[in-house]
Structures are given as C-alpha cells and as structure tokens.
Amino acid sequence: MARVIFIFLSLFLPTCSLAAKPTNIDYTFLDISFKEFLNRVSHDKVVVEDGCCWLIYSKGIHIMTIGDKNSLNDKIVKSIDIYSPTYNVLRHTRVGMSAAEIIKTYPNSVLDYDDEDGYEYFAPKSLQKFTNSGGFYICVLLTVADGSSTVNLDPTYPSRRFRHNAKTIAISIYKFSM
C-alpha cells in the first residue's frame, strides 16, 4: 500500500531539485523564456512590474531584474540587470568590483557616460558579442563613486582617469537588435 501512495503522490507533486543553481550568468540566459530563466536562478519571490519587467528577490533582497523589451508581451529575456555580488557575470565580473579591479581584468576599458539614463559605466569590448541574427549582446558595468558624485576625474567622456575605489553597483546584459 505504501508503494502505491508514493507512486500516486510522485505523479502529482512538483519535483524539487536539491542541486545548487549555477551562479554564473552569461549570454545563454538571454533569448529564453522568463519561466526557463527563473528555473536557472535561485530566488524566492518575483514581483511583476506591469508593462516593464520582473523583479527577482532572494531572501528579501532584490538580486536582479529581467525584461523583454516588448512591454512584457512575449516574456522572452532580452535584458538582465544584476544587483547581487552572489552572481558572476561572464565568469570574471561581479557586482561590487572596484574600478581598479575592472581595469585589471579588462585593461583596455574606458569610463563612459549614458546621457539618457545619467549613469557612468564601463562596457569592455571583450564582453560585447555579435549574434548570427545581426544584433549583438552587450555587457555594461554601472559604477558609483564612494561618497562622490562622479567616478570620472576628467571633464569629458570616454575617460581613462577615474576614481579607482568606485564600485560596480549593477551589471546589465542585454541583446541589442539592429
């Protein structure tokens, strides 16, 4: 009788995997369904921002945001914003890295500025990847200076002079289609 109950329950209960989820986020996390994305990352809460994105939480902390660039109509991941140092991005990059660490890892990087969104960032060329469909994947490291209004030490952008103690506060990976 116990065997019959176990078989019956196993047919109807969702399965739980005890295996740890990977902590490396890369370009393979783009162009998949939101559901598949959530199956690949550890989380305990998702908040849907209507027409915008899904906010993903773990232990009460906002760890990442995913978007589809189509007002949530198709729910295919086109952008990922990572806010947690728990995740390595493209194996060598994580939130919390200093500008000095970024330059050590990606020596040809320059600090740039996004006029539209008003943030300073690094976008190492080695992290940009063209796709077969004519678009490309972009990885951007958003930075903030400790106690300063700007990371840049020059009056213009792009710049190779910046505060080396500035920290990466978010990493964005997205697909840009032409």
Mean pLDDT, the chain cut into blocks of 10 residues (178 residues total): 33 35 83 93 92 92 90 87 92 89 91 85 87 77 72 84 87 82
Contact between 138 and 92 under an 8 Å Cβ cutoff? The reply is no
Residue 7 lies in a domain: no
The predicted-structure confidence for 139-148, as pLDDT tens digits, reads as follows 888 887 665 6
Domains in the chain, number: 1
Domain of residue 33 covers 22-176
Residue 14 lies in a domain: no
Residue 56 lies in a domain: yes
The DSSP bridge partners found for residue 55 are 47, 65
CB neighbour burial string for 145-166, b if at least 16 within 10 angstroms, e if fewer:
beeeeebbeeeeeebeebbeeb
Residue 12 lies in a domain: no
Q: Which two tokens stand for residue 88?
A: 């390595």
| 8-state DSSP, 126 | G
Check residue 178 and give its pLDDT: 59
Check which CATH number belongs to the domain holding 50 and give it: 2.60.460
pTM of the model: 0.80
Residue 74 lies in a domain: yes
Residue 4 lies in a domain: no
Residue 91 lies in a domain: yes
| Secondary structure (3-state) at 31 | coil
Q: Using CA atoms, how far apart are residues 76 and 53, in angstroms rounded to an integer? A: 11
